[in-house]
Structure 1
């Protein structure tokens, strides 16, 4: 059980109430807009994309995490890859640009989270090689609709203090999708709140339970911060194969991971 004491419970209740005040109307609005968008934009979803980004941005402010963006998100469609440290990555990465999350298939069955993930258009991929062609076609359809696909090549979350080797198999679907496809590497660096000795405060990894970690984060005041560093996009066609592509992207993401992150006040 997370250690929540004193005013922490009041802060927790207030934040959860405000988050629900964002999520519940947002869910209703998305359901309505999803019915209307195909009549005006075919497979494009400009209304729900803007709504999703606004909701994530609002949620980030409710949580109280200080946010700093470095570099610029690419404007064209393509893919975005980032290191994966926490469930907080949804807020850190979704606040900077309209993106479509790519997640492992198991997430679709998670209570509550699975429903929200499906609602915002998350693309679920399986490790079953028999589904490779179908998933490649699905990713191509998303790109053709002008979306940016965000996925985490480490394949799992970490403590936020390191970058694990990128799994090159996750890039197989991108190496033969289209000429000129670009992928933007992004580094996410969390900074623990003042007075917290554990620098991995925001990291959620291994066999850590989600509930207690969320209680710990949402009850904290004041919060720490997050730096989101956008590197220059690279062209898939510049690399001979998926392994070389994975190594290049991993090196870019790793290059901005400082030994001790610092965030100006």
Structure 2
């Protein structure tokens, strides 16, 4: 192992003092899950827009150390949020702050417990290479928006290190393409500030290792959710234009923030 790799590995090693807080947080997460599952099924017969998933994800974020601040234009009541993607924490943060459901790659659907939990929050699983499923996905999108009002997409398709944006993949917008005219399309910048390099889940770091490392932190993880103005009609002519203009909007606010 070279010196740089050894240094990186040492930085990501969990210190001994981190294990007690990991144990406490895991116990709190399990207790919260069990309590929220009971509340979800208790309320399910009486409401279509079940409030429990949002509150559960907000609690998950808080237990994991997230301290989220929402700034900018209020999230549209009915719309699609296009956000950069840095960490698995983006999901509880964004859902807890806005009540959004999510579009996810269909690879997650093969993990039964994860699929079940995602479906409680109206997640739409997109099969990007299966044209036959587009009609079903559009119907799922409409149901999710009817239930939650908002649907979030991470157009980068994967996590980045937070220092820059990856290209936005317009194919991920295929499920919302049919209803774009009727929905607000709102770019979102998830800003973890100067600690972003330590939060990001990138490279060869295993998912479990990243999760444990973040759970071991004693300091809070501060996140600012910048809700940018919805894209105007002239920037929404097709999904490629939407992806391009949303990325440009987020990149501009990132540049201004770091320059100031």
Q: Contact between 2:101 and 2:151, CA under 8 Å: does it hold in 1?
A: yes
Counterpart position of 1:106: 107
Query: Helix, strand or coil for the counterpart of 1:245?
Result: helix
Q: Contact between 1:65 and 1:225, CA under 8 Å: does it hold in 2?
A: yes
Structure holding more helix per residue? 2
Cα deviation, residue 133, structure 1: 2.3
Cα deviation, residue 145, structure 1: 4.5
Counterpart position of 1:16: 26
1:226 aligns to 2:223 (yes or no): yes
Q: Contact between 2:155 and 2:169, CA under 8 Å: does it hold in 1?
A: yes
Counterpart position of 2:122: 121
Query: RMSD between aligned alpha carbons?
Result: 2.5
CA gap of 1:103–1:209, structure 2 versus 1, over 3 A, is: same
TM-score, normalising length: structure 1: 0.83
2:134 to 117, 122, 132: 132
Equivalent residue pairs, number: 248
Mapped to 2, the partners of 1:111 and 1:5 lie a distance apart of 33
Cα deviation, residue 261, structure 1: 6.4
1:209 to 188, 206, 211: 206
CA gap of 1:123–1:173, structure 2 versus 1, over 3 A, is: closer
Could you tell me which runs of 5 or more consecutive residues in structure 2 were left unpaired when the two chains were aligned: 1-8
Counterpart position of 2:63: 62
Matches within 5 A, 1:1-265: 3-34=13-44, 36-37=45-46, 41=47, 44-45=48-49, 48=50, 50-110=51-111, 112-127=113-128, 128-145=130-147, 147-177=149-179, 179-191=181-193, 199-235=196-232, 238-258=235-255
Mapped to 2, the partners of 1:178 and 1:246 lie a distance apart of 12
Could you tell me which runs of 5 or more consecutive residues in structure 1 were left unpaired when the two chains were aligned: 194-198
